[in-house]
Chain A
Amino acid sequence: MTFVMQLINGLQLGSIYALVALGYTMVYGIVKLLNFAHGDIIMVGGYIALFSLTAFFLPPVLAALLTVAGCTLLAIIIEKLAYTPLRFAPRLSLLITAIGVSILLQNLAQIFFGADGHAFPRAQLFPVGWVYIGEIRLTYASIITLVLSVLSMAVLAFLVKKTKLGKAMRAVSEDTGAAQLMGINVNHIITFTFAVGAALAGVGALLYSVHFPLIMPTIGVMLGLRAFVAAVLGGIGSIPGTMLGGYLIAFLEVGVIAIGGSRWTDGAVFLILILVLMIRPTGIMGRTMMEKV
């Protein structure tokens, strides 16, 4: 029974990781940028959800939509202000800028909302409760997390594989110059990719707040790092690989705890990062790409 419970713990944690990791993968696939501000967009999303419920008393559906919209808008603004001017700069400059944006968002949140945590009224978002399957207590939150993240991933897969926009995204990812020659507006596609990644972050923010109902300026940091490791493990740039990575990292984490090694969870996760980078830098499902000369 303990084993099945730990399995469920891993599954719900993995759903959140996978969702967040997809944001990394989408952006990396297109502009080869590790968007380290991604976790902090989730943090901002948490505050948007919090204040739309507690300060503006919005109905849950509206609050959820506003969170996703707010994250998307924030990502577009960040892309336009911070990343677009650096499109032709070395990739390292872009990476450093992303870290800078991350620090900026955290400190802004600290100035506006304070360093202390805010309790998140998750009961206002949807009913807190559980059903029993045999002796196992399955919370509504974990059911909704599973459903919502699988649904988000399915929509994303459909978008990328079946729509014209998705085709354009893949084209830009493959060869930006050639895509531009074929008449694709590369700038629009890049902005759109950031927006999609951020919308996923918005959903991630809602799920995070429901599972961990204490919103603080620093909540995006560790979540972002874990999701980043998940993306690298699965193969950054590959959507199915990233989802797999998210679940694997969560199972690893819960597995380490289950066998009594709770003090090694961080260690195990980052050991995986080092091992992947040493042995198979492209991740489980990533493609080996030739450097273009």
Chain B
Amino acid sequence: MSIGTIWRYGDDINTDVIFPGKYTYQPLTPEEMAGHAMEDLDPSFAGQVKEGDVIVAGENFGCGSSREQAATCLKAAGIAAVVAKSFSRIFFRNAINNGLPVIELSEGIEAMKKGNTLSVDFEEGVVAYEGHEYHFPALPNEVIAIIEDGGLISHVRKELGKG
């Protein structure tokens, strides 16, 4: 179970506004990446986001470029989960591969407001908000194994017997 404060965004939030292209080919530390998170969409985000906060958005979150920093900068900023109506497929994969939980929720999103809190029960597949419970489908086993191992790189390390 995880409880967090909501950052609320709309549809088609693209990876350029989550993490600008001008930083994409620079080697940055996780803290530096977190400092640029959402820079072109919401300049208040990087300064105010707290560990455990959640992002709630509409359709097609993370569309655009394949840059993995769009997922890792949010994780580095402390985001515990992104809840959206739908995700772009590359962002969805990148998030899981870096241990950032992504939840596809078909109902309830409209009502969720910035600054309110939301709780997520990953095991039961339930998002709770202001007394309502919304269910999300469990992720495929392959995917759960990757998240449990803390991301794809450590998952494959383990599979290959490299510890």
Do chains A and B interact in one complex? no
